[in-house]
Structure formats: structure tokens, C-alpha cells
Amino acid sequence: APLWWLEAHRAEMVVYADTTALPQVDYGLQSPLFGDPRPMERISLASKKWLEESTKMTEAFCQQLSKTPEGRAVIGIQAACGVYGEWHYWGFSKNEPDMSAAMTQNFRTWAKEKYQTEENLQTAWQDDNITFATIEVPGLADRASSRGIFRNPKTEQYAIDYYRNQHELVASHIIHFCKTIKENWSRPIITGTFYGYFFSLFGREVAGGHLEFRKVLESEYVDYLSAPQCYTPKARKNGEVYRSRGLLTSCLLNKKLWLDEMDIEPNLHYPTINDAYKYLASGRAITRRNMIYSLLKGMGLWFYDYGISGVEFDDFHLKYIGVGGWWDHPDIMKDIAAIKKIVDDKVAAKESYTSDADVLFVFDTESAYATASLDGQNPMSDLAIDWTYLAAFRSGIACDAIHLGDLEKVNLDQYKAVIFGNTYALSIAQKVFIKSKVAKNGRHLIWNYAPGFIDKEDLNVSAVSDLIGINLNTTTLTDTVRLALTSPVAQFLANENSLLSQVSNKAFAPAFAVADQAATPLAYYQENQQTASAFKTFDNYTSWYIAAPAKEEKNNLLRYILSQTKAHRYTDDPTAV
């Protein structure tokens, strides 16, 4: 909503749970996205007045533009709102939304639709006095998780429900506006959105990530999803591993296109600058790497040119040292054209896409609702997701990544190893499928942290033990978490500088340890010498468990585990991928 609209409807604005909104000063001609990462004055996405007026304006825009010569050249429209148009809730990177009257009313309506009766509501929220009319959005105290990284669904359903309501609201807006565009354009048109971000969310998935990925993915009104590439960890510089932000194989399985937004600057310089040829070589390498990854996944991409290349800050002053646009160099443009021609030829020949990956990552969004939401309270968001994914690439293997909800759609015969990243909430049906269909044919199952730990009634470590086939118990960590690797792992990593893997610079809870004499230890907690990782071989599969995924570039332990599977390794050098 523009500034004049916000001023006229201040009651419709977002209210943050932990801070006062920063007023946006109108400096005249400026980006409407100015200040988006901060807790700015923005419209509450629960505002019915905003939704009604935005819908009318979108209808009018589409109806009128589609009849113009310019409109006849448009092939698609992207629906955008939230932080930087990427459908993150306002202020999510460091702050907590949304305590506004509009969101409160939306939450009351949502709860009534879910629970139907106040008796059901009171039972779920364990509050004999709550009514639909007295529901409020939870404040900071109610958003804090009771079990460290986890919420107990039995006692903390109130907070879980609020976040689910918030995420479902955002997803419904995306579908609503894509539908509005299609129905008001004068001919068929492609619609898409920034959504489905799974990696590089800085531990803020619950506050403003994209947890209703499947709802958007399965909508008939959304043709494609898009996102910038991963920014962290270790993703932007030369020699690092390019990774898309989303679960691309799930997009393929649901017949949706994913478009990677290329926004890593090649950093071109004037030819007169010392070592300009090195900058050009660097820019070409980055551009080739980024394009090729997207295309090898059967997906597409676009280039987002922010402006003049080679601009840098010198002693806090902007200094222009560059040339034209970000990719404005004949050699880079030739590379782009050559790579595009390869793909165009394959499309013209009607070649179908197939993946050669033989390692499958399984990730989940449902688990996030029962994990900590406040800033800095969930280190496993980075460890079990971002760092583990990077470690797999560093291991020299090729992998696909899917949402847990698509596991039954996959051709499992393709995969020698399946890594379960953050599958903390598993239904009975999902557990049965994993045990009967995934754990077979000599396959290797690799488990991170707490698979199946979240139960509707409790948080249950015995459920984890039953699922992975390795007995676990809880343990207590009080210091920086480091793992000491056992002899087989150490021998494999004989050329490494260190045989200690640093997991986290502070302790986390709950923490788990292996208590199974039939399991072979791989690593110990340095603090208490309890087993932090082990494996166990069964008749038709092998189960590997990692209680504390490492926060390091090479993630030595996962690299060792993957070396013991039948997955093809294209290189043994972790710096060469």
C-alpha cells in the first residue's frame, strides 16, 4: 500500500509484538521497498480493507493493460507483497508480527473455523476461560518455546495455531491474486510468485518464511515459483557451491516451474583497472556456475540487474569504478547465449528432463510450527538444513531435494541414500511408508537430530529410536558443542587439518545421545563423551544417525557417511565442487 493510503488507514497497519513500527519518511522519488527488512510501518496482511481495494486495483490494472499494445507483449505477471515482494511477513528477519486488530480478528475467525466449538478450543489450548470472542494474538511470552528448540503440541497449541494462521493467510493471498490476474487478463497468461524459500532463511522460518509451500505449489492458479539463490552459508563467492533457494524436485513432481533469480554481481571493472582480466574471469565463472546449476535441475532462471557494475564503498563513500550493467560485457553475454542455445536445442528436440542424482534429501515445513520461533532460539534451522545441504555438495555427490509430502511420488529406485533433514513431525502413515518402502534394497537412511520427535500429544524420544532403529536417550550440553570423530572417520579424513567438528558455539536443548550397544559409534560429544553419531546395519538397509549436524564448511562426518554408501562421488576433493 502506498504511503498516502497508510496515512489514511493507520488502523490497518501491522503491529509488532516486540517493537514499535518505524515511520517511513517520504523523500520523494524512492523505492517503495525502502526499509523493508526493518520493522517498518506496513499494511497488515490481515486487513480486509487492503485486500478488497488491492483486488479491485489489480482487476482494473489487468483489464486495462491487457488491451494495450504493451499488454499484448506480456507473457506473465508475478504477484508480490511482503518484504521485498517476497511474501515474508513484515519485520520477520529480527522482529515478531502481527498484533494488529486486523490480525486478531483474522485469528478469531480462523480458530472458529478450525475448532467449531469453544469446548474444542479450550481443550486444545488448555484454557477453560478462552472463547472465540476473547482470542488475542500471542505476545512474546506465549511465543517462547518450552523445550528449547521445540514446542510441546499438547501445551503450546495456542502459539502453533497463531503461526499456522499467519502462514495460511499469506498463502491464500498468493493464490487469490494469481487467480485474480488470470481471470481479468484478456487471454491466458502465466502467473507466479516469490515463494517456496526453504534454504537461507536465517532461522526465521516460523516468523516469516514460506511454511505453506505445498498449498501454493498445488494451486492451479500458480504456474511458477521463484527466488534468489542461496546467500548463506558460503554461497556467493568464487569457488563456493551454488544452491537454489527452494525444493526444486518437488516443483518438478508437481509440474511447476522454478525460476532462479540471478543476482550475484560478476563485479566487472574498467579494462584499465589493474588485473581487470581476473575480474572478468571471475565474473564469467560465477555466471556459468549459476546458470548451469538451474538448468541441470530442469528449471529456468532470469537475470536481475541492480544497476551499474563495479560500484563499491570506500571509507563509507560510494565510489564508481565500473562499467555498464551487471552482465554488460561481450564475453559474459556470449557465455549466456551459448548456454541458452544448449537448452533451446534440447527443448526443440523435445528431450525430457531426467536427474542423475542418487542421493535424496527429504525436508519438511510442517515441523517448523512446533519449533522455536524467536530470534536465535533454533540453531538446528541452520545446522540440519543449510549446513547439512552444503556438506552434501562438498561430499562430491549429486543430490535432489524434496518436501516430505512428495516422498511417495519419488522413484526411490534412483536413490542409493536418503537424508532426512528436519523431519521432526511424521505421521503414522509416513513412518509406515519410510519403514516399508524407503528402508529396503540396501539403501542408506541418514537421520538428522530428531526425526519423528514431535507427537500430537508429546515430544517423544522413544518414537525417534523406533523410527531409526537405534536406541537414543536425552543428554545435557552446557558448552560449545564439538564432536570427536572415531578412528574409521579419522582414517578417512587423514589429510584434514582437524578431526574435531564444531557444531555450535553454544549448547542447545534438547540434545540426544546414542544408547545402543549394537550400533557402531562414529562421533562423541567432546564435553561428555556420549555417542553423538552411530550407524546400524539391518538385513536390507543401513541406518545412520547424526545427533548434532556440524556447522562447518566440509562437515567431515556427513562426507564420511556418504563415502560409505553406493552413491557416486564425482570428486573426493571438498574444495573442487
DSSP character string of 48-66: HHHHHHHHHHHHHHHHHHT
Query: 132-146, 287-301, 322-336: which has the minimum mean pLDDT?
Result: 322-336
Residue 363, beta-bridge partner list: 403
Determine the pLDDT at residue 517. Answer: 96
Q: Is the pLDDT of residue 323 over 70?
A: no
Q: Please compute the mean of the pLDDT values over residues 464-477 and round it to a whole number.
A: 97
Determine the pLDDT at residue 47. Answer: 98
From 175, 174, 15, select the one nearest 99 (Cα to Cα): 15
Determine the pLDDT at residue 524. Answer: 94
Q: Is the pLDDT of residue 575 over 70?
A: no
Q: Where are the beta strands (DSSP E) in 187-307?
A: 190-194, 224-228, 257-262, 300-303
Q: Is the pLDDT of residue 438 over 70?
A: yes
Share of the chain above pLDDT 90, in %: 77
Question: Distances in Å between the alpha carbon of 199 and those of 22, 344, 494?
Answer: 28, 29, 31
Q: Please compute the mean of the pLDDT values over residues 422-428 and round it to a whole number.
A: 96
How far apart are alpha carbons 99 and 427 in whole angstroms? 32
Number of neighbours of residue 498 by Cβ within 10 angstroms? 12
Q: Please compute the mean of the pLDDT values over residues 148-159 and round it to a whole number.
A: 94
Q: Is the pLDDT of residue 497 over 50?
A: no
How far apart are alpha carbons 113 and 321 in whole angstroms? 59
Residue pLDDT, tens place only, 520-558:
999 999 999 999 999 999 999 999 999 999 886 656 789
How far apart are alpha carbons 557 and 240 in whole angstroms? 20
Determine the pLDDT at residue 315. Answer: 47
From 436, 453, 464, 449, select the one nearest 540 (Cα to Cα): 436
pTM: 0.94
For residue 290, what is its C-alpha cell?
549459476
Q: Is the pLDDT of residue 407 over 70?
A: yes
Q: Please compute the mean of the pLDDT values over residues 385-392 and round it to a whole number.
A: 93
Share of the chain above pLDDT 70, in %: 93
Determine the pLDDT at residue 316. Answer: 47
How far apart are alpha carbons 280 and 286 in whole angstroms? 10
pLDDT confidence bin for 362, thresholds 50/70/90: very high
How far apart are alpha carbons 40 and 21 in whole angstroms? 5
Residue pLDDT, tens place only, 91-139:
999 999 999 999 999 999 999 999 999 999 999 999 999 999 999 999 9
Determine the pLDDT at residue 236. Answer: 83
In sign, the C-alpha dihedral spanning 7, 8, 11, 13 is: negative
From 153, 168, 173, select the one nearest 111 (Cα to Cα): 168
Residue pLDDT, tens place only, 164-173:
999 999 999 9
Residue 226, beta-bridge partner list: 194, 259
Residue 437 DSSP code: I
Query: 48-52, 92-96, 240-244, 265-269: which has the minimum mean pLDDT?
Result: 265-269
Q: Is the pLDDT of residue 215 over 50?
A: yes
How far apart are alpha carbons 306 and 166 in whole angstroms? 31
From 50, 46, 35, 52, select the one nearest 91 (Cα to Cα): 35
Determine the pLDDT at residue 313. Answer: 46
pLDDT confidence bin for 457, thresholds 50/70/90: confident
Q: What residue spans of 434-503 are helical by DSSP H?
A: 461-468, 487-492
Q: What residue spans of 366-495 are helical by DSSP H?
A: 380, 388-394, 428-433, 461-468, 487-492
Average pLDDT, the chain: 91
Encode 411-433: b = buried (16+ Cβ within 10 Å), e = exposed.
eeeebbbbbbbbbbbbeeebbee
Determine the pLDDT at residue 253. Answer: 96
Q: Is the pLDDT of residue 248 over 60?
A: yes
Q: Any residues with CB less than 8 A from the CB of 397 and at least 6 apart, and which?
A: 357, 358, 359, 562, 567, 568, 569, 570
By the 10 Å C-beta count (0-12 exposed, 13-18 middle, 19+ buried), 469 is classed as: buried
* C-beta separation of 172 from 46 below 8 A: no
How far apart are alpha carbons 166 and 51 in whole angstroms? 15
Q: Is the pLDDT of residue 504 over 80?
A: no
How far apart are alpha carbons 415 and 577 in whole angstroms? 20
Of residues 283 and 319, more confidently modeled: 283
pLDDT confidence bin for 275, thresholds 50/70/90: confident
Determine the pLDDT at residue 152. Answer: 92
Residue 412 DSSP code: G
Report the amino acid identity of residue 382.
D
Q: Is the pLDDT of residue 82 over 70?
A: yes
For residue 249, what is its C-alpha cell?
524436485
Using DSSP, state whether 570 is helix, strand or coil. Answer: coil
Number of neighbours of residue 361 by Cβ within 10 angstroms? 22
Residue pLDDT, tens place only, 324-359:
788 888 899 999 999 999 999 999 999 999 999 999
For residue 259, what is its C-alpha cell?
525460476
Number of neighbours of residue 494 by Cβ within 10 angstroms? 7
By the 10 Å C-beta count (0-12 exposed, 13-18 middle, 19+ buried), 338 is classed as: exposed
Determine the pLDDT at residue 501. Answer: 64
